[in-house]
Amino acid sequence: MKLFKAMATVAGLTGASRILGFVRDILTAAILGAGPIADAFFVALKIPNLFRRVTAEGAFSVAFVPLYSESLTKEGEEQASIFASNAFAVMLTFLVPFTILAMVAMPYIIYAIAPGFHDEPLRFNTAVELTRITFPYLLMMSLTALMGGVLNAHDKFSPFASAPIFFNLCLIVGLLVFTEFTETAGHAMAWGVFAAGVTQFLWLLYFVKKEGIKLRLKKPEFTGNIKKLFKLMGPGVVGAGVMHINLFVDLILASTLASGSISYLYYADRLNQLPLGMVGIAVGTALLPMLSKSIASGDTKETQNLFNRSLEICLLLALPAAIALFVIPETLMSVLFERGAFTATDTSVAAKVLMGYAVGLPAYIAVKVFSTAYWSSQDTMSPVKISVFVTAVNIALSIVLIQFVGVAGIAIATGIVGWVQLALLYRGLRQQKNFDFDARFKRVIFKIVFSAMLMGFVLLVADKYVGGQQFGEFHKVLTLVGLVALGLIVYGLSIITTKAITVAELKKIMSSRAKRSEVEGS
């Protein structure tokens, strides 16, 4: 149950961060609004985040964690600490001058990223100013990602998983407290981003020291492990870049459609990202170091067990979430967003977009498991090749589908392509016995599918019964809470009745978590 506890920890903390993210979005809309300052801030937020996702938490993590875990398993703590310290020094050597250079050259970067700002001095100059404030976040989060990878390899998942909570808290505090002390709300939020980077770095540094992990400042050395790290990072950088090209193309396509299309994609994706983030990030974070260690030690049985149990947990959580998003999308959109300028018509269109995303939700969460299997084997190239191919398919399919169903076609294409990507990743792993489906998984998967479908049918009927009623705001919220509770009860009872997960297993899980809480609290 070690894997389950790790995933539950990461998922719970990620969920808390996502909820705070919703609060941040509501406050941002209310205080910052829409306009030149808002445009400038979103560009200032996007630029360091783009580099961070491509390098730090993307390519770097999937390359560093398996190498560090292998060193920890085969060479011991001392050699692993030397490797981590060297990686830290190399990262500083590259990122400090890069950050300084980028801040000096920021007008040129803004011109390249947001050329439309150039003809509007207020937007352009504000974007340059705010991005110079936010850009050091890249440096802080890159170092934070390294320390997070080290802690994860030592089975300490809480510190890094809780770090995003500080990001949202810092931005919320910036908006509510420091707006009156800065030139604009955008400036307050930009300083909030800067503060979030420093806070997250210090948070992880505290736990590295607390766990007695020897991470030292040293002169960088380009050893064999560092060269291997860069070699493994290369495909990851390309893969992360391809993903962002895909998101960029989605925005371009949506901008050619009816007004509001980009907003529909954004709001629907916020709901889609809740289970995707909680489950997907949890499995990727918890599974990568464990799988890397089992492969490094040559434990085929443990590797196969980790792979199958991860898929089991993913589908156990992802399938009911996807079906719920698919069968009651209008109720979800209406309760969460339909107020003020967001009309019933907007709800109807955004609900169709959400259904499109929901089609691919289980696939994208399973992709996390399959991709982790490649990364833990230090194969970062194969997932990238597949990613390049499916991105091309996604773009072509989106162009075709928007001719028939408008903006929902972009989400439907994304959903379909998720299953294509999963199939291609599975085909590549079939030759490795470490990643076969075991008898338990083959038996349980049908029970999970049945339980999720039963829950979906009950939700559909219940939603139809209350959907035509005209309720006030409070009653609409209660209705949604009731539907969620009904879905959980039906699904939970079905899972236990079919023995997809047994009462004994639940008791064991809860007992393990209780003991863990007692240890942590003592």
Closest CA to 388 of 248, 231, 239, 253: 239
pLDDT for res 510: 43
If one counts the domains in the chain, the total is: 1
Burial of 140 (0-12, 13-18, 19+ CB in 10 A): buried
pLDDT score, position 323:
95
Q: Identify the pLDDT of residue 116.
A: 64
pLDDT at 136: 93
Residues 6+ positions from 38 with CB-CB distance below 8 Å = 28, 32, 186
Which residues contact residue 359 at a Cβ distance below 8 angstroms, ignoring those fewer than 6 apart? 322, 326, 412, 415, 416, 418
Asked if the structure places residue 359 within a domain, the reply is no
61 in a structural domain = yes
Q: Per the domain annotation, does 185 fall within a domain?
A: yes
Q: Which tokens hold the place of 178? A: 């420091």
What's 437's DSSP letter? Answer: P
Distance CA 84, CA 146 (A): 8
- Which tokens in the block code for residue 366? 């399973």
What residue spans of 276-407 are helical by DSSP H? 282-296, 300-327, 329-337, 344-376, 381-405
Give me the pLDDT at residue 114, please: 67
Residues of the chain with pLDDT under 50: 1, 34, 509-522
Residue 512 located in a structural domain:
no
* Residue 73: other Cβ atoms inside 10 A: 17
Q: Hey, how many other C-beta atoms are within 10 angstroms of the C-beta on 338?
A: 18
HSE of 122 in the Cβ direction (CA atoms, 13 Å)? 7
Nearest CA to 283 among 412, 369, 350? 369
Q: Are 154 and 286 in contact (CB under 8 A)?
A: no
Rounded CA gap, 171 and 147, in Å? Answer: 23
Please report whether residue 190 resides in a domain. yes
Residue 410: what residue type?
A: I
Residue 512: predicted pLDDT: 41
In order of 62, 149, 285, the CA distances from 66 in angstroms are: 7, 9, 12
pLDDT, position 520 = 38
Q: Which has the closest alpha carbon to 394: 419, 374, 369, 371?
A: 419
Q: How far apart are CA 93 and CA 101, in angstroms?
A: 13
- State the pLDDT at residue 285: 63
Supply the range of the domain harboring residue 66. 1-221
Strands annotated E in 118-178: none
Contact between 146 and 84 under an 8 Å Cβ cutoff? The reply is yes
DSSP states along 45-63: HHHHHHHIIIIIIIIIHHH
Is there a domain that residue 78 lies in? yes
Question: Is the Cα dihedral 434, 435, 441, 442 positive or negative?
Answer: negative
Structure tokens given for 69: 């875990």
H/E element holding 159?
helix 158-173
- Phi/psi at 35 (nearest 5 deg)? 155, -170
pLDDT of amino acid 340: 63
436: in domain: no
In a domain, 215, yes or no: yes
Cα(459)–Cα(486) distance, integer angstroms: 7
Predicted local confidence at residue 433, as pLDDT: 67
